[in-house]
Structure 1
Amino acid sequence: MTEYPSLQNMHPATREPTLCELDAKFSDILPRALESLLEQYPDLNIQPDSIRPSYSRDTIKSAFLPVHDSLGLALVSTWRESGVTGVLTRLQENTPASIAKLSGILLSLWRFPSTINTFFYPHLRLSHQEMLEKYTTTRDWSDAPLKCIAWHPHTRKLAVVSRDDCVRISGNGAATKPILRHTGQRGISCLTWRPCGTAELAVGCKMGIMLWTLDPASVVSRPSTSCVRALSQPGHSPVTSLAWHSSGRLLASASPSDSNMLIWSVASEQCLPVKRVSGGGVSLLRWSADGGKLFAATPGRTFRVWDTKCWMPERWSVPGAKDTVICAAWSPDNRFLVFATENEPLLYAVSFVSNSDSAVPVVDLCEVIVDEEHQVLGGGLVQNIVWDAEGLRLAISYRHTSLISIFSTRTGSTLAITPCGWIRGAKDEFPSCMEFQADNKSSGGSVLTIGWSSGRLQYCPLSYSPYGISDSKLDLYTQPELFTNSF
């Protein structure tokens, strides 16, 4: 028996797809007041059959007949595409034995430094595609119809990435729904709106960062390439995580293949590397709401919390020998950081209020049977964590089970986490990605946006208490479907 809460304490899940929460009670019936509220939200459901995956360079190349160049031209072409390694490999395969043997020796010498590096950091052996699959917070990233979603921090504007690497923008009642597409924008892993503005969106992908600038008054549905800037540095790809400073002046980017964390000044398109040796790269970034701290996880056991006033880090290590932090979230008051690791079904918390020098487990997330009749499981190894802007609800999705768990949270001198309930999708659906609406002005709750594996985008309103519901001017408790008289 653990000393901290577990998923056994959750309220039972709904039998049908969950539509809302009403003061810690989850319902598969949506009150009319909430239904009318959600009618104002953008409709961005995507049918998986209506989109095609992005084509890679090899796929495009296969559509053309081979060209038989001379050896010199072929080597020049190979060098442009694959560098020195590609040239030596081609000489080894397509030249006489003596030259092939010499090429093999040179190739071994060329690869020797990287061999030592991959011995200490095995993740560097992964291809870019495999890195994106492993280090993004999207479940089943390669095949997910909805790869990422991002709410604007100040306006009701939503960006959604589909499997074909198109970014669809909707919201604020605009009739035009721009679709952002670019040849360099392949393998999108993350995206985030720039704070203190309405028009800039940073997109992380295989190449690096694509920074889109959109005119809110424009009626163009397909913005041109003049609206996008590419931010890239040699060796800093693929980008798996982006985080804006709360002022919107600085953008941090991370790549598991680069030990440098880059801090970009997007106005000048210049960046400064922030480097530490251990970890072999940076896989995940989370900037605190006040901009004072920046969390950076590595593909190894190490993670750091940077003080962004002096750019000095606190270094932490995950207990497991081969474990790593897979997802994390800051509390809105910047006092606590919660995270989960790749191989443990536990939620950990770090306090920046007390003088504690260790992360402590706060919730046991081991799998439990939620629905005995249909043998539905919930919990297990964590996929993603998101915290709402009020600091009152925490949502966790899982790597192998299909339900989202919701926790009630309170922060102050201590962190209180209470199991609340489950959000259930339709049959055979699991959550690919999720995000809380950031600009929710009502103190009566929040809205969790979920991208399901079917391509369905759901807005799930979470209403916390009668006082909050009253403040948000939602007349929920007078609806006839919520109460029956019994005397």
Structure 2
Amino acid sequence: MYPNRDRFIPPTQNGRTAYGPPVLNFQNRMLVVERVMQRLSGLWLSFSTHFVLVRKLFDLVFGRLKNWVHIRLGRVPPTVRDLAASIETCNWPTASIRYIACHPTGMERALLTSMDVALLYSDMRVPPQRLTSAKQRHVTCAAFRPWSSSELAVGGAGGICLWKPLPTMPRMMQITWYGYKPKDFIVDLQWLQTGTHLVSATLGNRRIQIWHPELRQLMQELHVPLPGTHCWVMRYQSDILHLISFLKSDAPILRYRNSLKTWSNQLTKRMPIQTAAWTARGNHLMYVVKGSSKVYGSTSSMVMGPFRHPFMVWSTSEVIDLRSFYCNWQQHEGGLVQSMVMDPLNVYVAFMFKRRPFVLLCLLHIPFNCSLKLKPMQLIRSADGHPDAFPTCITFGFMDRVASHRDRSLVIGWSTGRLQIEELIAQTREEALLFEELEIRHPQQVFEIDLY
């Protein structure tokens, strides 16, 4: 069996002679150890080389996807360019009006300008209060406190500025600074319905923050399942506290399909969300992914699971493609959607496109609480007729209080520095269809905004 049979092996018990391998001396043993070590070194070098190549390929493919605005936590802090690419304001760096905030129950409005100034209006015909501070930089969002007509939270670089009137001098405003991270940006704000806590979302990480204004501190940070997008969480029209309870709790095995993380991962299989809007009860979500003109709708339904335990099942379908659509019997070109806002009464939905000279007003229909439907109703253009004007930001608000209802309005900020207010008289979908049939146009108001 062995080629070298120089060494004699004594016979075994059965009388046969056996031969064994030669005995290795010390020098031969060292040569074997060296060959084994060389072999292991070669395998390790090959593994390291391939691992580096695979890692570089992974970073190249998944770290540089087009239109994927994703800041990796703990590595590179977000820049102003990242902020401008991810914000819903059209042409944010040079936009005269960057953001419009309307009071949830009153007529107060706040405008954020490119000069990092917050203009507080109680009446559009009266000059506003100008709120400026050295800490108020790269402003992106604002929110009124529900039970106060003048307390305003403004989000921007590094944290939040909370403005409130002095007790002895109501016309004078004092500022409280809530610092978060110096190299991060607050991109969305929302108060709880009770006004006791303030919720914010940042650009550079996958978390939302819960602030206690009176204690002047950050109470809790919650993990958001999806990277690079928070608007689908913050646009919850119902009390956002219900949505936070989903973020704080993990779904058991029997209710795995009810997990918010599972559902949200299914929502954005392709790209992050550019803009989103919830219906009033929170059981429908409309959203548009980045770099798309298609509007998707997600609908929830209750299903009885094992042991008769109910859980939510979400289904997603395409609602409408706004790249090309018909409105008033004419075909129009829309393009990529920049922003979408929902009417407080869930009658209208407004869309703003990338540098298009109009705002599209659509009628929302939810037949039998099933899938969402949208019908284009009206194209709203600049009232001054400027050929190069395009909307930079839009929102819905209230006009005034009437006996049993409040007239709503669609507020549009234009690139020319003008604020346009469209009064929405229809209170139901049937009234909106009737106004369209009678060709009744919404009353308009236009205000020139003094940026300086």
Give the TM bin, normalised by the shorter chain. 0.5 to 0.7
What is residue 380 of structure 1 aligned with on the other side?
335
Residue 276 (structure 1) aligns with: 223
Question: Are 2:176 and 1:238 equivalent residues in the alignment?
Answer: no
Which residue, out of 256, 260, 274, partners 1:314?
260
More relative contact order, 1 or 2 (CA 8 Å, 6+ apart): 1
The one-letter code matched in structure 2 to 1:408 is L
Query: Equivalents in 2 of 1:445, 1:379: separation in Å?
Result: 28
2:393 corresponds to: 433
* Equivalent residue, structure 1, for 2:317: 360
Alignment match, 2:369: 413
Shift in Å, 1:183: 0.4
How many angstroms apart in 2 are the aligned matches of 1:187 and 1:157?
A: 23
CA distance in structure 2 between the partners assigned to 1:289 and 1:456 by the alignment: 28
Percent identity, aligned pairs only?
21
SS of the residue corresponding to residue 393 of structure 2 reads: strand
Aligned twin of 2:54: none
2:199 pairs, out of 252, 258, 276, with: 252
Q: Aligned partners of 1:205, 1:318: CA distance in 2, in Å? A: 30
In the alignment, which residue of structure 2 is the partner of 1:329?
A: 277
Tell me how far apart the structure 2 counterparts of residues 457 and 380 of structure 1 sit (CA, whole Å).
23
CA distance in 1, matches of 2:238, 2:224: 27
In structure 2, C-alpha distance between the alignment counterparts of 1:330 and 1:278, rounded to whole Å: 18
1:30-52 CA-partner distances (Å, limit 9, x unpaired): xxxxxxxxxxxxxxxxxxxxxxx
Range with greater deviation from structure 2 (405-414 or 150-159) = 405-414
User: Which segment drifts farther, 245-254 or 459-468?
Assistant: 459-468
Alignment deviations for residues 214-250 of structure 1 (CA, whole Å, 9 cap, x no partner): 2599564xx46xx111112236721111121111112
Q: Distance in 2 between matches of 1:378 and 1:251?
A: 39
Question: Is residue 446 of structure 1 aligned with residue 411 of structure 2?
Answer: no
CA contact (8 A) 2:356 2:391 kept: no
Distance 2:356 2:340 in 1: 15
In the other structure, the counterpart of 2:147 is 196
1:376-423 per-residue CA deviation (whole Å, 9 max, x = no partner) reads 953221111111111111101012422211111134623342221211
Return the letter of the residue paired with 1:238.
Answer: F
Which secondary structure state, in structure 2, belongs to the residue aligned with residue 317 of structure 1? helix
Q: Distance in 2 between matches of 1:253 and 1:268?
A: 16
- CA–CA distance in structure 1, aligned partners of residues 313 and 148 of structure 2: 37
Amino acid at match of 1:343: G
Other structure's SS at 2:92 match: coil
Task: Give the letter aligned to residue 349 of structure 2.
Answer: L
CA distance in 1, matches of 2:138, 2:362: 32
* 2:213 aligned partner: 266
Correspondence for 2:423 among 444, 453, 461: 461
Matched, 1:338 2:289: no
Corresponding residue for residue 399 of structure 1: 354
8 Å Cα contact 1:148/1:189 also seen in 2: yes
8 Å CA contact 1:136, 1:190 repeated in 2? no
The separation in 2 between residues aligned to 1:271 and 1:464, in whole angstroms, is 41
Cα deviation 1:250-292 (Å, max 9, x = unaligned): 2111112123321111121222343438644554342533315
Distance 2:427 2:200 in 1: 38
TM-score by length of 2: 0.66
Matches within 5 A, 1:73-84: none
The alignment partner of 1:150 has SS state of strand
8 Å CA contact 2:408–2:423 kept in 1: the answer is: yes
- SS for the counterpart of 1:142 is helix
Pairs aligned (count) = 340
| In 1: Cα distance, 2:287 partner to 2:268 partner | 14
Check whether the contact 2:294–2:323 (CA below 8 A) recurs between aligned residues: yes
State the one-letter code of the partner of 2:315.
Answer: S
RMSD: 3.6
Normalised TM-score (structure 1): 0.61
State the shift of 1:334 in Å: 2.7
Q: Which residue of 2 aligns with 1:186?
A: 137
Q: 1:349 aligns with which of 290, 297, 317?
A: 297
> Following the alignment from structure 1 to structure 2, what is the Cα–Cα distance between the partners of residues 245 and 278?
21
Cα offset for 1:293?
A: 5.8
Q: Which runs of 5+ in 2 are unaligned?
A: 1-58, 251-258, 303-311, 433-438, 441-452
* Pair 1:289 & 2:228 matched: no
Which segments of 5 or more consecutive residues in structure 1 lack a partner in the other structure?
A: 1-114, 295-304, 470-475, 478-487
Instruction: Determine the C-alpha separation between the residues in 2 that align with 1:238 and 1:356.
Output: 34
Are 2:70 and 2:228, in contact at CA under 8 Å, matched by a contact in 1? no
Match for residue 144 of structure 1? 95
In the alignment, which residue of structure 1 is the partner of 2:17? none
Per-residue deviation at 1:171? 1.7
For 2:351, the aligned partner's letter is I
Q: Which residue of 1 aligns with 2:41?
A: none
- CA deviation profile, 1:114-154 (whole Å, cap 9, x unmatched): x99x9598534574211220222110000001111111112
- Cα distance in 2, alignment partners of residues 278 and 131 from structure 1: 20
